Amino acid sequence: MIEMPEATTLANQMNVALTGKTVQSFGRGELVHKFLWLNRPEEEYASILAGKTVSGASSYGKSIYLYLGAEYLLWFSELGGRLLYFPAEQGLPAQKPPSKVHLLWDFTDGSAFVLILQMWGAVRLLEGADLTQQPEAETGIPPLSPDFTFECFDGLLENYPDKTRQGVKGFLVTSKYVNGLGNGYLQDILFRAGIHPRRKIPAINAVERHRLYEAIQETMEQAIELGGRDDERNLFDRPGGYHRLMNNQVVGQPCPVCGTPIEKIAYLGGACYICSKCQT
């Protein structure tokens, strides 16, 4: 799944590579996916997008925004898949995208932009209102945002309605509160903070809360600097440079801090990788 570092990387690359390009056509590729959500009929996307020029791209948490002029916005959210760009180099034949894609944008200069979905995702076409602001349906505060202070984070923890029922994992991966984290980076964040994913929020003391907040900031800053995780791809189909400390490759290996074998547990619909000694 694309999380905040991948969304930031992709949006920055799209802003450079796609800005100024005019859409020639939009349509579906050969692949069909029942968990690809559009908010309009495909034909309406095609008729609206044709002739529109990309005016920029940005990100918000796990979301990516692609602006078309001053009137329209493509909102990519909760994406489990790849966004890829196929440039048309001057004097060379256009680099053709694969036929097996879910969505395809052809540009008038011969380049193309595609979505290849692997899990699920939404691509909404919005218009009107103030497109410089986040859509009303967007929730949560992204880490590294000026608004994401420790006081804000601590308040979100205190007001989490399931704080006595679910562990801290449930809070962190719910975009309604912190927008940008998923199960991928969660493992390293909790390991760095020394907190077990099943820990209930009332049991996390003030010192641990500061440690958790700092682990979120540190992990996100490092991952963005490195262009996202090494098991995700950027706009040019290259892997990121962030190597996770805790994933399925280290199960049974010694913890880098204390030497205890790393364990895999199932919790809240996904796998967690933990050191049972370091993460209490």
Same domain, yes or no: 117 and 61: yes
Structural domain contains residue 235: yes
**H-run or E-run covering 153:** helix 150-159
Question: Comparing C-alpha atoms, which of 116, 36, 23 is closest to residue 72?
Answer: 23
Question: Comparing C-alpha atoms, which of 122, 150, 154 is closest to residue 138?
Answer: 122
pLDDT given for residue 90 in this prediction: 60
The predicted model gives 146-164 an average pLDDT of 94
The predicted model gives 251-269 an average pLDDT of 94
pLDDT given for residue 125 in this prediction: 94
Structural domain contains residue 117: yes
Same domain, yes or no: 154 and 270: yes
pLDDT given for residue 95 in this prediction: 66
Question: Comparing C-alpha atoms, which of 236, 227, 243 is closest to residue 9?
Answer: 227
The number of domains in the chain is 2
Structural domain contains residue 139: no
Structural domain contains residue 142: no
The confidence band for 132, taking pLDDT boundaries of 50, 70 and 90, is low
Token readout for 104 is 């395809």
Q: Which residue has the higher pLDDT, 167 or 34?
A: 167
Same domain, yes or no: 93 and 164: no
pLDDT given for residue 19 in this prediction: 97
- The pTM (predicted TM-score) of the whole model is 0.93
The confidence band for 246, taking pLDDT boundaries of 50, 70 and 90, is very high
Structural domain contains residue 230: yes
Q: How many CA atoms lie within 13 Å of 80's alpha carbon, on the beta-carbon side? A: 11
Same domain, yes or no: 120 and 165: no
Yes or no: say if 29 and 101 are a contact pair by the CB < 8 Å rule: yes
Q: What are phi and psi of 74, to 5 degrees?
A: -100, 120
pLDDT given for residue 88 in this prediction: 84
Structural domain contains residue 104: yes
The predicted model gives 218-234 an average pLDDT of 97
Yes or no: say if 99 and 29 are a contact pair by the CB < 8 Å rule: yes
The predicted model gives 53-74 an average pLDDT of 94
Same domain, yes or no: 64 and 121: yes
The confidence band for 33, taking pLDDT boundaries of 50, 70 and 90, is confident
The confidence band for 97, taking pLDDT boundaries of 50, 70 and 90, is confident
DSSP 280: -
Crossing angle of helices 206-225 and 150-159, in 10° steps, is 120
* Choice among 90-94, 100-104, 144-148, 250-254 with the minimum mean pLDDT: 90-94
pLDDT given for residue 70 in this prediction: 86
How far, in Å, CA of 189 to CA of 198, rounded?
Answer: 14
Q: Which domain holds residue 201?
A: 150-274
Q: What is the CATH number of the domain that holds 32?
A: 3.20.190.10
> 172-205 pLDDT, tens per residue?
998 889 999 999 999 999 999 999 999 999 999 9
How far, in Å, CA of 32 to CA of 100, rounded?
Answer: 9
Position 93 pLDDT exceeds 70: no
pLDDT given for residue 175 in this prediction: 82
Q: β-strand 36-38 against 121-127: which pairing, if any?
A: parallel
Structural domain contains residue 76: yes
The predicted model gives 123-148 an average pLDDT of 82
Question: Comparing C-alpha atoms, which of 85, 62, 86, 93 is closest to residue 75?
Answer: 62
